[in-house]
Copies of this chain bind each other. A is one copy, B any other.
């Protein structure tokens, strides 16, 4: 049975949601075949069956699971014989900490650096008023003002990745010798940027840059094949 993933799309069918990337890589990790249903920002009524209005939503037969973290837990529990995404506790709860870190510390910082590029290049004209208002309200400033200072803010962004940089100097992946869900969480944030912005978040000498390259190559280049900027 092929699973169905409701996946965010922007203009030109650019699929850039960081949360959907977490799920796409988790499905590949578990070896689950899946098709995607493209959902634009204006298509929320198409998610009504899931009891909420955000992507990703995974459908497997009668099972409907919204929310990337809940989907990861569902996959881990259902496909226990496939390689672990995080294993039982402590692994699962420690991955949840990294999920919290990626959401709270990293994602807003990425948004400040590339949201105007996303907006101008890959948010449809119809969605632009909603997108601008929701992002500016969340981040407390205008897309243009954030953009204007990004050559400075990228420095504090890179500094804030210190714990990640240390981990990737200790092992090839956040999860150790092989990648797992913690890697997909953090990678999803970088992949949003790669899909929609020519701005270089990382310096090429950064161990995080080399790791991102390894992540792009996983699963026959699942993420590398998605259209994006080679920065």
Contact = CB atoms under 8 A, between A and B. Distances in A.
Contacts of A163: 97, 100-101, 104-105
Contacts of A177: 89
A182 to B, nearest CB: 6
A88 B180 CA distance: 13
Interface string A80-113: 0000111111111111111011011100000000
Interface string A56-88: 000000000000000000000000000011111
A162 B91 contact: no
Number of copies of this kind of chain in the complex: 2
A93 B167 contact: yes
Provide the main secondary structure of the chain A interface: helix
Contacts of A170: 93, 96
Contacts of A91: 86-87, 90-91, 94
A181 interface: yes
A164 interface: yes
Given A94-B182, A182-B94, A175 B104 contact: no
A166 interface: yes
